[in-house]
Amino acid sequence: MKRTYTEKMHAQRLIKMLSKKDICNKCPATPGFKGNINAEDLYKNSPCVVCKEFIRPRLGLFSIMCPCGELGSEKAIKRTWLALEEKEYL
């Protein structure tokens, strides 16, 4: 049975993922933060939508790309930290 990917789960996984050294092309929704696994197949809802909605108000993301692909990893990571702080996950 597939689990539902929630904002809280996303924030917890982001914090864990962001503590690693090499996070380029990684996905917080996948086991081991693998970038080559389709997260959409792992949950009964879309983790990509959760991810985009988590930082959309701050970033204005509209494409189907991951935030790092759309904005560049440095900018996406910086703004993700800001969203984590604003939503009081940090």
Q: Name the stretches of the chain with pLDDT < 50.
A: none
Q: Is residue 1 part of a domain?
A: no
Q: Is residue 2 part of a domain?
A: no
pLDDT digits (tens, 9 = 90+) for 46-69: 998 898 888 876 555 556 678 887
From residue 69, alpha-carbon distances to 25, 86, 87 in Å are 8, 23, 23
Instruction: Quote the pLDDT of residue 26.
Output: 87
Record the pTM: 0.86
Instruction: Quote the pLDDT of residue 10.
Output: 97
Bin 50: left if φ > 0, else alpha if -120 < ψ < 50, else beta. Answer: alpha
Q: Is residue 46 part of a domain?
A: yes
Structural domain count, the chain? 1
The pLDDT mean for the chain works out to: 86
